[in-house]
Every structure is written in C-alpha cells, then in structure tokens.
C-alpha cells in the first residue's frame, strides 16, 4: 500500500495498474466515436487487482485512515490542500479508506471515493451564506480526464456554462465551488460525467440547520445512478428533522413512491407517501414522521429513474443517507469513534449476515450472526472502541448502514458493497 498526497501533473502508478490498463487497450471492442478523428472512450470490466482511494478533504481538520477489515489500522494522517491518496495492491476486496473531521459543532465522516466515470450528489447547495458545496475533483490515474458538470435545482437545470469541458491532468486536482460557479437557491443535485478518463470526487458541504443556526460541515455521499428503485440506508434513529431530497434528471415528471423498512416490517408513511418531481428538477419533502427511534431504511420507487438522499439533523449536526446496493459476500468498512449502531434492512426475503467488529489494533470485539426478517430492519449496537467492521452476507438481500453519535455530533453512512471488478477506460482514435 502506498500513501501519498496527489500533486499537479504527477502521479504514481503501480505495475499492476499498468498491466490492467494495457490489457484493456489490447482487448478493445465496441468503441463509439464522438466525432471524426476525435478520441472515443469505452470501458472494459476487469477483475479487481488494485484499488485507489482519494480522500479529498475540503473540511477543516480533516484526517484520513486506510485499512483492511480485521487488520491493524494505521494512524490517521492529515488531509491538506491536495487529496490524500492510498494505492492498494494486495487484499483489495476488503480494503477501505475514510476521512473524518471533528469540531465543537460537527462530526463529519465519509468513505474516501475511488475513481469512476459518473457521479451524482444530492442535497448540495450553492448559496454563499446558508448552504454551499465544494467539489474536489482528482485524477489519480495516468492520462488526462475531461469532465462535464450539470446542476439541477427546484426550478430545473441551473445555468452553469463554465462547468463543461473541465480538464484535469493526470495527478492533478480541480476545486469547484458551486456558490461561485452555479449560484442557486434551494437543494441541488450535481451530476458529473467524465467524458474521458476516471475521476474521484469529494463533496464538502457546509449547511446551516436553523434560520440563525451556526453552519456545520459534512461530506455529501456519492449516490447511485438514477434508477427506478433505490434503498437509502445510514440513517439516525430519531433525528430532530429529516428531509427526503429527490432528483429527476429526465424530461418527464416523476411520481416517486416512498416506503419505510422498519423494525416490524415495511409500511407506507402517513405523510409524503408519494413525491412529485418535475422534469429536470429537485424536490425536497419532510420525512421526520417515519423516525420513531427504531431502525429504518427508506425505499423509493418510480416509473422514471431518480436518485436521492435523506438529510437528517440531530443534535444540531447534519448527516446524509446513502443509496446502497445489497451486500454480496464480504464487505469491510471503517466507522468513526462514538456510540454507534449498525442497521441491516431486507427489501425482500429473510436472510442472515455475519457481523464482525474490530478495534484499531485489529482485536475482535464482536462476531455475531444476525437474522434479518423479510422486509424489515434490525439494529445491532457496535461495541465501544469499534474502528472497522466486516459484514458477510449469506444472500444478496440485505442493505446496511450505520450511525454514530458523540459530543461533537452525528455521522451516518450507507454501506457500499466491496468492489470486486472495475471499469477501466479505453481510448483510441476513432476511425
């Protein structure tokens, strides 16, 4: 494993990555040209041999940690003006990296992203005073990356002509402040597409929970691509306020149905059981009534593809839910220090998950088989001192998330299943 900050114009590439990229080029097929003589990009899926995590920071006092589930964690390292990068060339399937920031006002936590071609962030802001989101876009791979950014708001697409055709050289970083580049009022959604190469993006969000409240900071989780069904995990048990934020990028209206996967089964909320989202727009509705102190996840469905998050305010701090996929095999992830609980939710049949928790030294604190009833959620308290967790799913039917609270605030996240294969970009001149 290599730990290094990225810097403009330079990058370190392991031999394994070069082998994988060369193999992808030699097996090129199905390229779609963008224009005569212009470079054309396609992607080829290859088995995972190496992973690159890019911790973009963007929040004061941010630190990053990397590890493998069950192994001793290295000491956290500060994230400066450039992203802190971790290259993993062994045991990659259960590897993880996360970044954290604590103050008297907030507990910010988020997984460090890996480079990919498409990104969605929901619940962003572009108002200088009350709510602003800053994107840190890094290109840790060889070759130039070109990106286009589209912003959607409550009244439709937000004009931001300067956010198309952004070039990010290999090893370089670009910072985009939405309040300066796409000023708008209300909750926003951001879609980033790498038309060439792959990029890793960290979205640092500054949000004032009350009318005159002090702004707190958190990282917005990257959300799945818009789809007709989405399960949002990583929610606090009983926040003071909670809102569902949904983006509809299509040119037709989306009618979104909302269900709650709770401790006693799945039910439709009394309020906002359906949400109407105009074409190319973002809708925000309160969902506070679905939180009763028990474990929950939200399930949304729509005839039109959408993606979403839940923004929750607890103890004056803010946290975001993550659209997650079902657990498959073993998955490892880090958690911040504090009083935490894991929530497992089944959107279908009854299933079981082996939950193993470790402290920073790699000592096992918990090893338990948890049965998740059909279409319900169950909470598992995490032992004091838990630093990372390994989940092993019997069948791909369970979604996972966690919440942690301490005197600084609250942090939540949905658990994204471990990556076992990756899409590598392949570029060649079009014929």
Q: What pLDDT does residue 217 have?
A: 95
**Spatial separation of the C-alpha atoms in residues 42 and 371, rounded to whole Å:** 41
| Residue 17: strand pairing partners | none
Is residue 241 domain-shared with residue 214, that is, in the same domain?
A: no
In the block, which residue shows the tokens 């069950």?
Answer: 70
Is residue 278 domain-shared with residue 308, that is, in the same domain?
A: yes
Give the pTM.
Answer: 0.86
Could you tell me if 190 and 125 are in contact, meaning their C-beta atoms sit under 8 angstroms apart?
no
Q: What pLDDT does residue 51 have?
A: 86
Phi-psi region at 37: left, alpha or beta (left = phi > 0; alpha = psi -120 to 50) = left
**Spatial separation of the C-alpha atoms in residues 340 and 410, rounded to whole Å:** 10
Encoding tokens for residue 361?
């030294």
Cβ-Cβ contacts under 8 Å for 47 (sequence gap 6 or more): 420, 421
Q: What pLDDT does residue 63 have?
A: 97
Cβ-Cβ contacts under 8 Å for 257 (sequence gap 6 or more): 268, 273, 274, 300, 301, 302
Q: What pLDDT does residue 128 have?
A: 79
Helix (H, G, I), strand (E, B), or coil: what is residue 290?
A: helix
Encoding tokens for residue 16?
């394994």
Is residue 233 domain-shared with residue 216, that is, in the same domain?
A: no
Is residue 277 domain-shared with residue 291, that is, in the same domain?
A: yes
**Spatial separation of the C-alpha atoms in residues 311 and 239, rounded to whole Å:** 10
- Residue 255: exposure state from Cβ atoms within 10 A (0-12, 13-18, ≥19): middle
| CA 224 centroid distance within chain | 8
Is residue 152 domain-shared with residue 291, that is, in the same domain?
A: no
Find the domain containing 52 and state its range.
Answer: 2-222+422-429
Read off the CATH number of the domain in which 321 is found: 2.60.290.11
Q: How many domains does the chain divide into?
A: 2
Q: What pLDDT does residue 116 have?
A: 94
How do beta strands 351-358 and 388-393 pair? antiparallel
- Among 13, 57, 86, 65, smallest CA distance to 175 is for 57
Could you count the other beta carbons within 10 Å of the beta carbon of residue 266? 17
Is residue 302 domain-shared with residue 368, that is, in the same domain?
A: yes
Q: What pLDDT does residue 50 have?
A: 78
Q: What pLDDT does residue 209 have?
A: 81
- Among 94, 99, 71, smallest CA distance to 358 is for 71
* Buried/exposed code over 55-93 (b: 16+ C-beta within 10 A; e: otherwise): bbbbbeebbbbbbbbbeebeebbebeebbbbbbbbeebb
Is residue 204 domain-shared with residue 263, that is, in the same domain?
A: no
Sign of CA dihedral 72, 402, 330, 140: negative
Q: What pLDDT does residue 89 have?
A: 79
Q: What pLDDT does residue 30 have?
A: 34
Sign of CA dihedral 215, 213, 235, 357: positive
Is residue 132 domain-shared with residue 240, that is, in the same domain?
A: no
Encoding tokens for residue 366?
């918990």
Q: What pLDDT does residue 189 have?
A: 98
- Cα angle, residue 273 at apex, residues 269 and 278 outer, rounded to 5°: 150
Could you count the other beta carbons within 10 Å of the beta carbon of residue 159? 11
Could you tell me if 168 and 150 are in contact, meaning their C-beta atoms sit under 8 angstroms apart?
no
Could you tell me if 196 and 144 are in contact, meaning their C-beta atoms sit under 8 angstroms apart?
yes
- The mean pLDDT values, 10 residues at a time, for the chain of 431 residues are 48 35 34 37 61 94 93 92 88 86 94 96 92 96 96 96 95 96 96 97 91 82 98 96 97 98 96 97 97 96 98 95 94 95 94 97 97 97 97 94 95 84 54 43
In degrees rounded to 5, what are phi and psi of residue 80?
Answer: -95, -145
In degrees rounded to 5, what are phi and psi of residue 18?
Answer: -65, -40
Is residue 130 domain-shared with residue 257, that is, in the same domain?
A: no
- Among 260, 325, 323, 324, smallest CA distance to 294 is for 260
Is residue 201 domain-shared with residue 260, that is, in the same domain?
A: no
Is residue 264 domain-shared with residue 353, that is, in the same domain?
A: yes
- Among 347, 247, 335, 354, smallest CA distance to 297 is for 347
Secondary structure letter of residue 178 according to DSSP: H
Question: Can you list the alpha helix ranges (DSSP code H) found in 182-285?
Answer: none
| CA 338 centroid distance within chain | 21
Is residue 329 domain-shared with residue 259, that is, in the same domain?
A: yes
């Amino acid at each position: 494993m290599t730990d290094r900050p990225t810097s403009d114009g330079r990058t370190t590439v392991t031999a394994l990555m070069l082998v994988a990229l060369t193999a992808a080029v030699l097996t090129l097929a199905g390229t779609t040209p963008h224009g005569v003589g212009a470079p054309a990009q396609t992607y080829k899926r290859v088995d995972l041999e190496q992973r690159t995590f890019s911790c973009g920071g963007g929040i004061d006092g941010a630190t990053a940690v990397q590890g493998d589930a069950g192994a001793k964690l290295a000491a956290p390292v500060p994230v400066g003006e450039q992203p802190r990068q971790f290259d993993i060339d062994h045991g990659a399937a259960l590897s993880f990296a996360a970044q954290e920031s604590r103050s008297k006002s907030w507990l910010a936590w988020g997984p460090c992203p890996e480079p990919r071609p498409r990104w969605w962030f929901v619940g962003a802001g572009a108002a200088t005073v009350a709510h602003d989101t800053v994107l840190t876009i890094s290109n840790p791979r060889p070759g130039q990356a070109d990106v286009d950014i589209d912003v959607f708001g409550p009244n439709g697409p937000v004009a931001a002509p300067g956010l198309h055709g952004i070039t990010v050289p290999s090893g370089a970083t670009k910072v985009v402040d939405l309040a300066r580049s796409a000023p708008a009022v209300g909750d926003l959604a951001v879609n980033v597409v790498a038309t060439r190469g792959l990029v890793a993006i960290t979205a640092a969000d500054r949000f004032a929970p009350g009318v005159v409240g002090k702004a707190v900071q958190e990282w917005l989780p990257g959300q799945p691509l818009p789809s007709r069904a989405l399960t949002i995990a990583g929610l606090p048990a009983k926040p003071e306020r909670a809102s569902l934020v949904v983006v509809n990028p299509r040119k037709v209206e989306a009618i979104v149905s909302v269900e709650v996967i709770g401790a006693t089964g799945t039910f439709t909320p009394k309020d906002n059981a359906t949400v109407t989202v105009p074409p190319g727009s973002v809708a925000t509705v309160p969902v506070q009534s679905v939180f009763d102190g028990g474990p929950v996840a939200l399930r949304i469905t729509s005839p039109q593809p959408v993606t979403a998050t839940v923004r929750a305010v607890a103890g004056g701090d803010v946290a975001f839910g993550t659209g997650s996929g079902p657990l498959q095999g073993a998955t490892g992830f880090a958690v911040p220090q504090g009083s935490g609980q894991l929530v497992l939710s089944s959107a279908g049949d009854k299933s079981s998950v082996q939950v193993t928790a470790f402290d920073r030294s790699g000592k096992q604190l918990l090893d338990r088989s948890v049965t998740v009833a059909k279409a319900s959620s169950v909470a598992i308290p995490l032992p004091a001192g838990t630093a990372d967790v390994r989940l092993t799913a019997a069948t791909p039917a369970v979604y996972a998330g966690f919440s942690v609270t301490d005197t600084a605030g609250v942090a939540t996240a949905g658990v994204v299943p471990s990556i076992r294969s990756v899409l590598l970009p392949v570029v060649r001149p079009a014929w």
